[in-house]
Every structure is written in C-alpha cells, then in structure tokens.
Amino acid sequence: MFRLTPAFTTAILFMVLPLSIAWSQSLQAGAARVKITPEKLPYLAGYGANRRAEEVHDDVYASAVVIQAGETKMAIVSCDLIGLLYPAVQDIRSKVASVPATNIIIAATHTHSGPDSIGLWGQPEQGVSGVDKEWYAQMKQKVADAIEEAAKNLQPAVLRVASAEGVTGVSRNTRVAEILDTSVAVLQLRSASDNKTIATVVNYAVHPELMNIRSLTSDIVHYMRQTIEGAEGGIALFLNGAQGGMVTVDSPGNDWKECERVGNTLGQAALNALKNATELKEAPLAIQRAEITIPVDNERFKQAAKAGLFPEPVLQTDEVVTEVMHVTLGPAELVTVPGEALPNIGFQIKRHMKGNPKLVIGLANDELGYILSEADYGLSLYSYETSMSVGEKAGRLVADALIAMAKQSPPAVAGAASSPVAAFFDNLPSRFRPERAYGAKVLYRITITGEGGGVWEIEIANNKCNIRRGASGAQADVTITTNAQTFLALVEGRMGPEQAYMSGQLVVDGDLFLAQRLGDFFAF
C-alpha cells in the first residue's frame, strides 16, 4: 500500500467530484402546450390506410414539462401522434437549447386518429406516404418550441407522486385477457409559491383507438386531459405504457359518449390517486441513456423504406439504432420503451425497478412497432403484432438494457437524498460512461466519516457500473478516505485538495494506475 502524492490526489479529486451538483436538489418545473393540428385535413394514422380526416373534432397538441433538480434538467413531451421515429426525435432535440438533448423524452400518446407522422397510412400500395412534409417539418419545430417555452416557465416547485392499482373501465386485452397492467402512475408538479398546478403526468397502458371514424382527435386522451385540468388546473400529459398485444379501450367503439366516459374514468383514476400523494420539496434527479442496435427482420418495413413512405431515413440496413432511458426523480422511477411493448415485457421490467411509482413509458423517443418477447414472436396468437414488429430480438434487447440500468441504479429515495454526500453517489450512475470502461475490472471503496457520511463502493466490470452503499467483503483495489465536513468543503470550494491531503484529512491508498483511471469512467 502507498499514499499518493498531492499532485495525484488533486487530479483524482477533481476528476471524481461533480462540482456542478446542487446538493439541495431543490425543484423547479415549467410546462407549455402547442397545437400541432395540420392546416389541411390529413391522412389519419391507425386502422386502415387511405383514411383522410373529414373534420377536426378536437385539436392535437404537444404538451411539455421541464423539470430541474439542482443542476440537472430534463424534459418530457407528450405528442398526440401515433408515434415518432428516432431520427425525428433527434432532429427535434437538436432544435432545443434550454435542455440537454440526452435528457429529453419525446413520447406519443398513440392516438389512432391523429395525423400520420410515420408514413404508413397514406396510399402505400401506390407508394404514397401519409405524411404531409410541410406539416411534418412545422410539427417538429413546434415540439421543440414547446420544450423551450416550458423551460422559460421554470419556477420553484414541489413534486407530488402517486399510483393506484386495478383501474377498471378503461382497458382490456383482446389477446389474453389476464395479461393486463391496470395500474396508473401520476407525477404532479405544483408551484412552491402559490400551490397552483404546473403539470400532471399520467402513465397508463391503453391504445387510444375508440373512435374509428374520419375525425381528427386525440381520442380518450382529450377527455382525460379535460377531467384533470378542469379539477387541478395546469397542463395534463398522457404517457402510454406497455400496451401491445392488444391492449385496447374497454368499449365497443365509435361512440363519443363512450369516448368521453373512458377518458373521464382514466382522468378520475389519476385524481383519486393524487388524494394519497406523497409531496416532496426536494428530489434528486438522475438520468441514464443507452443506444441499442436491433436486427431488422421485417421485410415489409424494409420495402416501405425503399418506397420512400417514411419521412426519415430509416431501415437503410439490416439493423436499426434506437435508445432507451432510465430516470429516477426522488422516489419515482421511469423507463422509456421505443415502441409498443407487450404487457409481459412491461411486467418484466417493472419487477427490477425499485421506485414508487414506476412508469414504463411506451412509444418514447422512437416507434419500432410491437416489441415482443422471443417466446411470443411468430406465434399465431400474435401474428399481427409480429407483422408490425422490427424483429424477434427487439424485446430481449430492450428489456435487457433497461433491466441493467434499473439494477445499476441506487434505490429510489423518498425525498431529498439523506445527505449531500449521499446525493453525490445517487447521481453518479447517470454519469457513468461504459465506452470508457472497456476491459476494466476494479473495486473502489470510499469511506466518508462524520454526519451524513458512510461507506460506498464503486464496482466496474463488464462495461457496467454498480454503486452500492456499505462495504462488501471483497478486497478493494483503491480506497479513498475523508470526512463529511472535508468532503463538502472540497466540493463547495472552501478547501483546496492539497490542503486536505497535507493535513491528513484526505487519504487515497491502493493501485496508482487504477486510482488515476477512476475519473475516466465518469463524465462531469
């Protein structure tokens, strides 16, 4: 064992400590909504092709909420569209300056009576895309504008989190009735100054497809928003869940009164859940993101790409690149799925999530069609879903990536981190960069004494990072020891690393090479 020189200690300390973290994790939130209804009556996406709208029953929107905790900022957008392809999401992100692109979630409600945003519902047999290119370009800019406006509206906020099980009268599974997630999860942001609602986010799994007619509408989502906004104010956002195979509306369809009933039922379920909400004035925010590559087996999709039906350059090869995200906001835990996962995949992911509530956000940042497990793919029961899926491995690759993130993430906390020291380690997983850890296998043990301190271990192996509280029985390759008072003084700039080292308040022991690499594994 040896003690590092002050120069090495200084370098390691500055690499390890994310000085930008605001320890209090105080919350800010802002919301905005923009209309994305086309000026010309569009092809409607969903059901059969060549279905042009004959009227606008209700406008369609992009609704955005921006949340900031400390220095970390994220945006969630709900668009009244059947879906958006990954290149479109990337394009929208590139137009936003107020929120980091990697911290933006753009999800679709999956209404089956909104304007075609994918291209498959025009006249595909004649090679006619259903996307109006002029509207499409304007729509992407408007979604970006909604995020920017929400960011401008940031104000001190409190977070309310709630969930409820067994919501009936909204959804049903027409394939296997028993496989159905009827839970609703709710996040609500309120102004810290006057308690007015800023935004209410509702996560529930169902196809908004009750109205199979030639009316442009956000379907049941329209009435859900009316119910919540009428009671609570602010802007309500609907985020779909694992609604594939086939989780549809619990109603015969094509009846506006029924559409209103179902939407009101879902909205009221969210309001009822909020009666027992947990309120938080502070909440750490941590974000993980990973791109994954999925083999494309669907020849119909490839032919549609060659015919120019899609509005973006996709499916140019036999693989498609997409992404998944994992977010913790206080006790809440969110994951994004780039398409329509079947309920069993949603349940599988939820089993590994530690938060409460748990939000599985479908059709988020991409629309790859149905996402099935390998066991379900190709079954006659799921012949339609298989025909509208990119490939057999999609379910496994998406679930594996999200489960790995959930396992790596520390347990969600009920409010603010138990201490500023704990906040540092709670945020550390979101900063891990697996591409920098290739071939590395190392265990770091960090001991921080005094009030708010503890022992944390950082284990890096197989391009993954596991951060846990407490000391294991394993032999650490590198140990770092200090006290909480010194730790905070260093982070806040009240003490220099050399002073801490020379006074014996900071000790780094172990393998010199591995100690120097610690900062390489994280982005600050």
Range in 40-49, 71-80, 181-190, 409-418 the model is least confident about: 409-418
Strand order in the sheet with 442-449: 464-469, 454-461, 442-449, 478-483, 507-510
- What's the confidence (pLDDT) of residue 25? 62
Q: Which residue has the higher pLDDT, 189 or 464?
A: 189
Residue 414's nearest CA partner among 490, 331, 320 is 331
Beta strand 478-483 with 442-449 is parallel
Helices and strands per DSSP (H, E), number in the chain: 13, 26
* Position 491 in a domain: yes
The stretch 67-81 carries a mean pLDDT of: 95
* Position 462 in a domain: yes
- Whether 88 shows a pLDDT value over 90: the answer reads yes
* Position 318 in a domain: no
Structural domain containing residue 461: 6-22+419-521
Question: What percent of the chain shows pLDDT beyond 90?
Answer: 70
Per-residue pLDDT band at 493 (split at 50, 70, 90): confident
Which tokens sit at 247?
Answer: 């989780």
Q: Which residue has the higher pLDDT, 39 or 499?
A: 39
Quick check: 509 and 2 in contact, CB under 8 A?
Answer: yes
- Whether 23 shows a pLDDT value over 70: the answer reads no
- What's the confidence (pLDDT) of residue 412? 58
- What's the confidence (pLDDT) of residue 500? 79
For residue 292, the tally of other CB atoms under 10 A from its CB is 17
pTM score:
0.77
* Position 262 in a domain: no
Which tokens sit at 368?
Answer: 């790859």
* Position 484 in a domain: yes
Q: Which residue has the higher pLDDT, 514 or 9?
A: 514
Quick check: 322 and 368 in contact, CB under 8 A?
Answer: yes
Query: From CA 116, how far away is CA 92, in angstroms rounded?
Result: 17
pLDDT tens digits for range 179-202: 999 999 999 999 999 999 999 999
Instruction: List the CATH number of the domain containing 489.
Output: 3.30.1050.10
* Position 507 in a domain: yes
For residue 227, the tally of other CB atoms under 10 A from its CB is 21
pLDDT tens digits for range 232-270: 999 999 999 999 999 999 999 999 999 999 999 999 999
Residue 475: exposed, middle, or buried by beta-carbon count in 10 A (0-12, 13-18, 19+)?
exposed
Phi-psi region of 169 (alpha: psi -120 to 50; beta: other; left: phi over 0): left
The stretch 149-167 carries a mean pLDDT of: 96
- What's the confidence (pLDDT) of residue 8? 40
Residue 519: exposed, middle, or buried by beta-carbon count in 10 A (0-12, 13-18, 19+)?
middle
* Position 69 in a domain: no
The stretch 343-349 carries a mean pLDDT of: 97
Average pLDDT over the chain, rounded to whole? 90
pLDDT tens digits for range 268-318: 999 999 998 988 888 889 999 999 999 999 999 999 999 999 999 998 889
- Whether 5 shows a pLDDT value over 50: the answer reads no
- What's the confidence (pLDDT) of residue 473? 67
- What's the confidence (pLDDT) of residue 155? 97
Residue 231: exposed, middle, or buried by beta-carbon count in 10 A (0-12, 13-18, 19+)?
middle
* Position 57 in a domain: no
The stretch 10-37 carries a mean pLDDT of: 64
Per-residue pLDDT band at 524 (split at 50, 70, 90): low
- How many domains does one find in the chain? 1
pLDDT tens digits for range 102-142: 999 999 999 999 999 999 999 999 999 999 999 999 999 99
